[in-house]
Chains A and B, each alone.
Chain A
Amino acid sequence: MMKTMSILLLMMMKPTKLMNSLCLLTFMFIFLSFLIKHDQEWFLFYSSLSSDTLSFSLICLSTLIMILMIMSSTSNTNITYRAMYFSLLLNSLLMCLFLTFSTLNIIMFYIMFEASLIPTFMLILGWGNQPERSQAGIYMMVYTVTASLPLLIIFLMWSNKIGSASLHILYTYDSNWLTSSLWAFILVLAFSVKLPTYLVHVWLPKAHVEAPVAGSMILAAILLKLGGYGLLRMISKTSNLMAPIIPLLISWSLAGGAMIALLCVFQNDIKMLIALSSVAHMAMVMSGSLTLSLWGTNGAQFIMIGHGFCSSALFCVANMTYERLNSRSFFAIKGMQVILPVMSMAWFMLCTSNMASPPSLNLLGEMNSITAIFSWTYFLSLPLTIMVFLAAAYSLFLFSQSQHGKLSLKTQSISPATPREWLILFLHWMPLNLLFLNPCSIQLFILPYNL
Chain B
Amino acid sequence: MSLFLYLVSIIFLIFSLNFVMLNYSVMFEWEIFSTAGKIFLFNFYVDWMSAMFFSFVALISGSVLYFSGSYMPMDKSLRKFMFMVFVFVLSMFFMVFSLNLVSMMLGWDGLGIISYILVVFYNNDKSNSAGMLTVMSNRVGDAALLLSIACFMEMSSWNYLVLNIHLDWMMSALVILAAMTKSAQIPFSAWLPAAMAAPTPVSALVHSSTLVTAGVYLLIRFSNLMQCFSILSLLIYLGVLTTLMASLSALFEPDLKKVVALSTLSQLGIMMSTLALGFSELAFIHLLTHAVFKALLFMCSGKIIHNVGGYQDTRKMGGEMFNLPVTSMIMVLSSYALCGVPFLAGFYSKDLIIEASLMGDMFFMNYCLYMLSVGLSTSYSFRLLFMSMVGPTNQSSYISSDEEDWIMLISKMFLLMLSLVSGAFLLWVCIPNPWMVSLVAGSKWLSFTSLLLGMVLGVWLCFWNTKGLWFSSMLTETEVFMTMWNLPKISGMKLSFSSMYLSLSFSKLDLGWVEVFGGFGLYNLLSNKGSFLEGWKLNNIKNILIVFILSLVFLEIWV
Contacts and interface: CB of A to CB of B under 8 A. Distances in A.
Interface of A: 139, 142-143, 199-200, 202-203, 259-260, 262-263, 265-266, 293-295, 298, 337, 348, 352, 356-359, 363-364, 366-368, 370-371, 373-375, 378, 381, 384-385, 388-389, 392-393, 396-397, 400, 404-405, 436-437, 439-440, 443, 445
Interface stretch (B67-75, B256-264, B495-503): B495-503
A384 B149 CA distance: 13
Contact of B519 (A143, A359, A366, A367): A143
Nearest to B507: A263
B140 interface: yes
A381 B139 contact: no
B153 A348 contact: no
A128 B99 CA distance: 51
A381 B146 CA distance: 10
Given A357-B109, A358-B105, A358-B110, A378 B33 contact: no
B519 A392 contact: no
B33 A262 contact: no
A200 B131 CA distance: 36
Contacts of B116: 396
Contacts of B515: 202
Contacts of B509: 259
Given A262-B499, A295-B35, 15 more contacts: A143-B518, A202-B510, A202-B515, A266-B500, A357-B110, A358-B107, A368-B35, A371-B150, A375-B150, A375-B153, A381-B150, A384-B147, A400-B128, A405-B123, A445-B35
A367 B132 contact: no
Contacts of A363: 105-106, 109
Interface size range of chain B in the complex: 35 or more
Nearest to B30: A437
A404 B131 CA distance: 11
A200 B146 contact: no
B142 interface: yes
B128 A439 contact: no
B165 interface: no
B33 A443 contact: yes
A161 to B, nearest CB: 32
Contacts of A337: 123
B499 A265 contact: yes
Contacts of A266: 500, 503-504
Closest 3 CB pairs of A and B: A374-B150, A358-B106, A388-B143
A385 B136 contact: no
A378 B34 CA distance: 23
A428 B473 CA distance: 60
Contact of A200 (B33, B110, B113, B518): B518
B33 A439 contact: yes
Given A265-B499, A389-B140, A404-B120, A202 B519 contact: yes
B506 A294 contact: no
B143 A389 contact: yes
Judged by DSSP, the binding face of B is helix
Nearest to A381: B147
A356 B120 CA distance: 20
Contacts of B514: 199, 202
Nearest to B496: A265
A363 B108 CA distance: 12
Contact of B149 (A293, A352, A370, A400): A370
A348 B113 CA distance: 10
B102 A367 contact: yes
A294 B35 contact: yes
Contacts of B36: 293-295
A437 B32 contact: yes
Contacts of A400: 120, 128, 131-132
Contacts of B475: none
A262 B518 contact: no
Interface of B: 32-36, 40, 102, 105-107, 109-110, 113, 116-117, 120, 123, 125, 128, 131-132, 135-136, 139-140, 142-144, 146-147, 149-151, 153-154, 170, 499-500, 502-504, 506-507, 509-510, 514-515, 517-519
Contacts of B139: 388-389, 392-393
A370 B510 CA distance: 26
Contact of A367 (B117, B146, B151, B499): B146
Contacts of A293: 36
Most chain-A CB neighbours within 10 Å: which of B150, B151, B502, B519? Answer: B150
B143 A371 contact: no
A262 B505 CA distance: 11
Contacts of A439: 32-33
B128 A404 contact: yes
Contacts of B502: 262
B324 to A, nearest CB: 35
Nearest to A261: B503
B503 A263 contact: yes
Contacts of A202: 510, 514-515, 518-519
Contact of A139 (B135, B170, B519): B519
A356 B131 CA distance: 18
A385 B518 contact: no
A370 B509 CA distance: 27
B117 A378 contact: no
Contacts of A294: 35-36
Contact of A359 (B106, B504, B517, B518): B106
A393 B109 contact: no
A370 B519 contact: no
A384 B142 CA distance: 12
19 contacts: A139-B519, A259-B509, A263-B503, A263-B507, A265-B499, A266-B503, A293-B36, A348-B117, A358-B110, A363-B105, A367-B149, A367-B150, A374-B150, A374-B151, A388-B146, A397-B132, A400-B128, A437-B32, A445-B35
B309 to A, nearest CB: 24
Contacts of B506: 259, 262-263
A293 B36 CA distance: 10
A230 to B, nearest CB: 21
A393 B106 CA distance: 19
A436 B31 CA distance: 11
Nearest to A440: B33
Nearest to B37: A294
Contacts of B170: 378
A355 to B, nearest CB: 8
Contacts of A370: 146-147, 149-150
A367 B41 CA distance: 13
Nearest to A373: B150
A260 B151 CA distance: 26
A348 B114 CA distance: 11
B518 A364 contact: no
Nearest to A378: B170
Contact of A366 (B125, B128, B146, B153): B146
B144 to A, nearest CB: 8
Nearest to A374: B150
Nearest to B139: A392
